[in-house]
Structure 1
């Protein structure tokens, strides 16, 4: 597994080693020892989530606050998504900055998003299966979010507004300036 830190401190791209033969491929998608060495911290994942979505579905930007904050390790099992992380940590030199990456069932890349970040993704392919691990349990009262098109975030979603399929809940999220604080 190869780890590359993004422009956002603590946020890492993980590239697994794939072993190909005439039957297909094998890869180790997660190993706690390798992972903790690669990101430089102990992370204990307690919940796995999976979603299925169609082209144009944008989910996010979401986070959990306070003692319920979550770190996530995200990947795509099939299809393609544009995955986005936003640094919501007020003390961070990269507060309000974002990072995006194309995650696909083919490239098998993963993204580690530490606590204190908002996260979202847009389905670029006809269909996509998205999978992620969380290091804390979901808590409804601790939900936070930022509107996907906040001009302060400078996110290029690569689709026009009319191509996006957004939930009613996500369509009314606040701007970064008015969002719930992570800590």
Structure 2
């Protein structure tokens, strides 16, 4: 209600007196109260407590930063380890590919060599068969020629020789054997 009276008095344009106690106005009393409050805070050690709380918080933050730094270092070491493993795996894969290529080349070379040997063996066998067939045919021809010659000689001898000529030939052969 007093506020309402003050507002009405101001609105009517009347001058009023500022409240004072012990000769000091409200601004001085608020300043004194503030100084007393700050003095009590200093006397009770509130700035030290605030400093201690801030130091504690700084220590916690520093600890968290150290942990974060350690985690970062661990992550970097794990990253390096996995990069090394990846590089080893890539190297091993490259070595396996090189070995597979070498084995494939060796198998191809062996297959070519085996095919060449097989062709050579088959050629040799064919040549041997041809030679055997030629030898067989030659033997048959010789046998047939010998038989034909024997038959022809027998026919000639039978036609041109008689028993007296045979006796003379036998006597000559005996004489030749006796001289030797």
TM-score, normalising length from structure 2?
Answer: 0.12
More helix by share: 2
TM-score, normalising length from structure 1?
Answer: 0.12
Could you say which structure has the larger radius of gyration?
2
Higher relative contact order (CA 8 A, sep 6+): 1
